[in-house]
Structure 1
Amino acid sequence: MSQRALLLVDLQNDFCAGGALAVAEGDSTIDVANALIDWCKARGDAVVASQDWHPANHGSFASQHQVEPFTQGELNGLAQTFWPDHCVQNTEGAELHPLLDQKAIDAVFHKGENVGIDSYSAFFDNGHRQKTALDDWLRHHEINELIVMGLATDYCVKFTVLDALQLGYTVNVITDGCRGVNIQAQDSTHAFMEMSVAGATLFTLADWQETQA
């Protein structure tokens, strides 16, 4: 396997139209994902995906605290946005989007399984207390460069990218393959700026296809 991988972040039903935590235009990322999957497969690049995979009583759910969704609070000593119940293990909402070319995905990595802590990043929980299996898998396959896209820009994509950079990966972000929650209107714009400042290179899909071998 080559030294580059496409990382699809949380392209799940609950983040798309009709989902419990639907992101505006979330479904529009699927065509970009499938185009990138085709591009990567033609070059022998790996394709991996992360999947939010919460127990039904997850501590990040507003319902567990009798508060309104999107309320700000604290969970296990960390600042926490309390979300609508979403991506509950083994539910339709947690499944990858039905139009995503899932058979081309080499490995899927679950996150957010620990009741007591949220996990935006595909690499770590929010307190960096536990790692997912993603980093070990990438290193086992000698992958050192990532193409990242998915949902949502201002949470799971941003923290996945920042962790990947900290872990030493070269990171390319496909901006039109991302959509944000945007609790504040500019959250996604700020997230892209933060990723860029930290060392990620931002591309549109068209730019990527035009400039990369």
Structure 2
Amino acid sequence: MTKALFIIDVQNDFTEGGALGVDGGAAVAADISRYLEAHADDYALVIASRDWHDPESDNGGHFAASDTDPDYVVTWPAHCVAGTAGADYHPALDLSRVTMHVKKGQGEPAYSIYDGEVEGGASDGAGISAVLDEYGVTEIDVAGIATDYCVRASVLDAIEHGRHVRVFTDLIAGVGRESSDAALIEMGHLGAELSSSDAG
């Protein structure tokens, strides 16, 4: 068994005070760092994703037009714009144990880590699925933001690509309580293991 850890979108704009901040986002960043301190060596790859939207476009309709209110389903306020502080990882996330970075949503809507491209290193520009195949990854643990959007999408794609997936329910934060609960039920129904990070 070769394992990878996905850290989904732990960015300033998705934590408290950000353009789309969720309650508990900063705590998730700090808790993931504590988990990595003890468990980073359990993984062949520790992969962190970021939304990285173009500043000069609506990113394929992902950003609401300036004269239109976002519907928070398909259209959103501008967030995680490339090169801005909002797109940066949250400062409480320890990046020293991250082995690979993925940028997604460059000019288009993108929720899943599978929609992005690896940034830097020998795998620069590659999709995550090809990288996981290269490393022989069969199991993926998932943490990050937001439970009901990008975590959900990443988990469902990982399952679809044949990986065994475990979601650390104490290392995620969602936009809404009901939608997050529904996402967890859906992920579990489709085969994800829902577990605490201290379950071993």
| TM-score, normalization by structure 1 | 0.83
Which residue in the other structure is 1:31 paired with? Answer: 30
1:96 counterpart (81, 89, 99): 89
Task: Provide the residue aligned with 1:194 in structure 2.
Answer: 186
1:180 match: 174
Q: Note the alpha carbon deviations across 1:75-109, whole angstroms, 9 max, x for none.
A: xxxxx521111000011110111121112110101
Deviation of 1:36 (Å)? 2.6
The separation in 2 between residues aligned to 1:96 and 1:83, in whole angstroms, is 20
> Which deviates more, 190-199 or 29-38?
29-38
Residue pair 1:124, 1:132 contacting (<8 A) in 2 also: no
SS at match of 1:81: coil
Matching residue of 2:131: 137
Structure 2 match to 1:123: 114
Q: Deviations over 1:119-138 (max 9, x none)?
A: 1011037xxxxx96211111
CA contact (8 A) 2:49 2:113 kept: yes
Deviation at 1:46, TM superposition (A): 2.0
Q: Residues 162 and 98 (structure 1 numbering): CA distance in 2 closer, same or farther, change over 3 Å?
A: same
Contact 2:105 2:111 in 1 (8 A): yes
Which residues in structure 2 correspond to 1:1-213 (within 5 Å)? 3-56=2-55, 57=57, 58=59, 59-62=61-64, 64=65, 66-69=67-70, 71=71, 81-113=74-106, 115=107, 117-124=108-115, 133-182=127-176, 185-207=177-199, 212=200
Cα deviation for residue 44 of structure 1 reads 4.9
Question: More deviation in 140-149 or 28-37?
Answer: 28-37
Distance 2:42 2:145 in 1: 25
| Structure 1 residue ranges without an equivalent (≥5) | 73-79, 126-130
**Aligned to 2:111, what secondary structure does the other structure show?**
coil
* Deviations 1:157-202 (CA, angstroms, capped at 9, x unpaired): 00100000000011000011111111xx400000000000010000
Asked if 1 retains the 8 angstrom alpha-carbon contact of 2:3 and 2:42, the reply is no
Question: Structure 1 residues 175, 132: closer, same or farther in 2, change over 3 A?
Answer: farther
Q: Which moved more, 1:88-97 or 1:133-142?
A: 133-142
User: RMSD over aligned Cα, in angstroms?
Assistant: 1.9
Distance across 2 between alignment mates of 1:161 and 1:17 = 24
Contact 2:5-2:43 at 8 Å conserved across structures:
no
Across the two proteins, how many residue pairs are aligned to each other?
189
Is 2:11–2:50's contact at 8 Å kept on the other side of the alignment? yes
| Alpha carbons 2:105, 2:115 under 8 Å: kept | no
SS in 1 for 2:186: helix
CA–CA separation in structure 2 for the residues paired with 1:104 and 1:84: 31
How far, CA to CA, are the matches of 2:146 and 2:170 in structure 1? 12
Shifted more, 34-43 versus 19-28: the winner is 34-43
Identity among equivalent positions (%) equals 35
Question: TM-score of the superposition, structure 2-length normalised?
Answer: 0.88
